[in-house]
Amino acid sequence: MSQSQDALKQQAAEAAVEMVASGMVVGLGYGSTALLAVRHLAKLVAAGRLTGIVGVACALAMEQEARRLGITVSSLEEHPRVDLTIDGADEVDPQLNLIKGGGGALLREKVVAQASGQEIIIVDESKLSPRLGTKWALPVEVVPFGRRPLAEHIAALGAKVKLRTGPDGRPFVTDQGNNILDCNFGPLEDPAAVAAALEGRAGVVEHGLFLGLASQVIVAGAQGLRRLTP
């Protein structure tokens, strides 16, 4: 990403944080774009411009970073209702449905999104897509015990399935101790049908289709910022 695009992503992150008010419980997404928002949020908290902010992090790494930055971090056990979540996405279709999970935090990200009054998504314009699956394989989080039969089942649904591995070549392990299958279906004509087929299979913990969850998508592009709403 060019320096000017980096600046636009920073502007988009700051625009999302402008929606945060003192006293809010804020969902802290995961990924490079969400990190920009968390850092800006921390600056406003440190400056006293926002007070009484409580963060609920979508990943253990983000929880650690938020604490390091001076943000009070709690849990859904203590705060089951989140006022506003700021997160990124890997792919966004014209209906503002999303594919998420490139960073491996899709389970917590979806739990927090569904607990949120508003889900604000920040992306650069390269993430916009005519159909989900055009640019990104669908991450599916599965229990290790059922990994192979689940991979075969998803392949039978029409996907090319690849087990995600870490830098050491071993299976990637999520914060919840599960594995991820990256499932390339190609452009999805009916994301809801794919979601239903996956949700009906034991051992599938969660998938990266975030359908009808985005309240607003802030897009950083060559022409500046755009705000998209459903």
Active site residues: 109
Query: How far are the Cα atoms of 71, 164, 181, 187 from residue 44, in angstroms, in the given order?
Result: 10, 37, 38, 40
At residue 2, what is the residue type? S
| Rounded distance between C-alpha atoms, residue 171 and residue 122, angstroms | 29
| Rounded distance between C-alpha atoms, residue 220 and residue 9, angstroms | 6
| Rounded distance between C-alpha atoms, residue 135 and residue 133, angstroms | 5
At residue 37, what is the residue type? A
| Rounded distance between C-alpha atoms, residue 175 and residue 177, angstroms | 6
